[in-house]
A and B are shown apart, each in its own frame.
Chain A
Amino acid sequence: MALTKEQIAQRIARELKDGYYVNLGIGIPTLVANYIPAGMNVVLQSENGLLGMGPFPFEGEEDPDLINAGKQTITTVPGSVFFDSAMSFGMIRAGKVDLTVLGAMEVSENGDIANWKIPGKMVKGMGGAMDLVASAKNIIVAMMHTNPKGESKLLPSCSLPLTGTRCVKKIVSDLAVLDVTSGGFKLLERAPGVSVEEIKAKTAGKLIVEGDIPEIGI
């Protein structure tokens, strides 16, 4: 069984460490916040100018001056701090953010990522994605392994315009957990009931399989 979006987020949450400052992108990455282990202190950075993002507000307590980078109403946690957009990207550029989780349309076997533009379709812009991928120390991509047509999104090289080059470190897809290494995608774990053969068939880029591949424990 392929992982659900919630399960992808749950698996990524296991990469968190106490004391991490983390930037979560829009979509599946946002769900990671729901699975931060109890007792672990992880500070969420929202690039519109907040460290210490809390959960959505209770109904009736929404504050129009308090939103996240997805423009959703949010709350703060004790110890939170606001700053301007230049400082926000300053801390990103300076490598102060420990982990960045974002979505992707395509990832290549050397860690290039494309997630902002499909030529010929309406272009909405890169937002903060190019700044994040150019500077983040550790980037995990949350994505579906294939597109709706069943074509692999893990490629020898990206066909779409790039967001950044040689930057993705790890991928958690609905089918597998993979590291991006100098030799290609290294298969670490597979979704429960999904065979190595299926992952091979759905990975167009170079896939490294060494020894037994355990199932993802959810």
Chain B
Amino acid sequence: MNKVVASAEQAIKDIPDGAVLMLGGFGLCGIPENCIAALVKKKVSNLTCISNNAGVDDFGIGLMLKEKQVKKMISSYVGENAEFERQLLSGELQVELIPQGTLATRCMAAGYGMPAFFTPAGVGTEVAEGKEIRNFNGKDYLLEIAFDADFAIVKAWKGDTDGNLVYKETARNFNPLMAMAGKITIAEVEELVPVGELDPDAIHTPGIYVHRIFKGSHYEKRIEQRTVRKKN
């Protein structure tokens, strides 16, 4: 078993034009910034990106949008990005907006080997259009389908050479769910440690889900909304 690759470029080298990608993160928190930079450099195009958000103009998935590499975004909230808005209004970019819990659970279902599930989110709204509705215990639920992604690209805090992953604080978000859901899962980590160094009780993503892992060379970890309070 050799899951360790040398770099982001190595990790993403076989991602073809037209691929369906999952990209972890919430806002700019916990995003795979090294892989995104490598995807921009490789100029892969026509991508479908499943990610809760679409980055900002000059960071995160926004960098791929700027280079017109994204054909379709599947997200729950995309409000922080002027280039995104321009491409959407001009018709260059397709966007599918889905409730955040539905997005998370469609990833989870894929990782748990379940083709679909029922959720009440979106009943009675335009999200329900064309979807099967079933009543359980007096309440209506929508049938939602598990995602089918070619590659999941996630960012963890620590990982070992077998691909076991540990996330930090709210940088966890969608990362463990997407890690379970990719046909090929690529993990970039801040610290890559030898097998046996992580506490088995504290591992969030078992390495069985992870195919490639590398230590990111640089993490900017940009803060989207810096909010502070004054001392005393």
Which residues of chain A have a CB within 8 Å of any CB of chain B? 46-50, 55-74, 76, 82-86, 88-90, 92-93, 112, 122-131, 134-135, 161-165
Contact = CB atoms under 8 A, between A and B. Distances in A.
Q: Which of A49, A74, A165 has the most CB of B within 10 A?
A: A49
Contacts of B176: 84
A130 B228 contact: no
B101 A128 contact: yes
Interface of B: 26-30, 52, 75-80, 85, 88-89, 97-105, 107-108, 119-127, 157, 167-177, 204, 221-231
Contacts of A61: 228
Contact of A124 (B79, B177, B230): B79
22 contacts: A58-B229, A59-B228, A59-B230, A59-B231, A62-B223, A64-B29, A65-B30, A65-B221, A67-B225, A73-B223, A82-B172, A84-B175, A86-B107, A93-B101, A93-B121, A122-B79, A125-B76, A126-B100, A126-B127, A161-B126, A164-B125, A165-B125
A84 B177 contact: yes
B125 A130 contact: yes
Contacts of B231: 58-59
Contact of A72 (B78, B121, B122, B227): B227
A57 B228 contact: yes
Contacts, number: 182
A127 B77 contact: yes
Contacts of A122: 79, 85, 88-89
Nearest to A59: B228
A165 B140 CA distance: 11
A68 B227 CA distance: 11
Shortest 3 CB-CB distances between A and B: which pairs?
A89-B101, A124-B79, A131-B101
B225 A72 contact: yes
Nearest to A57: B228
Nearest to A131: B101
Contacts of A85: 26, 52, 100-101, 103-104, 173-174, 177
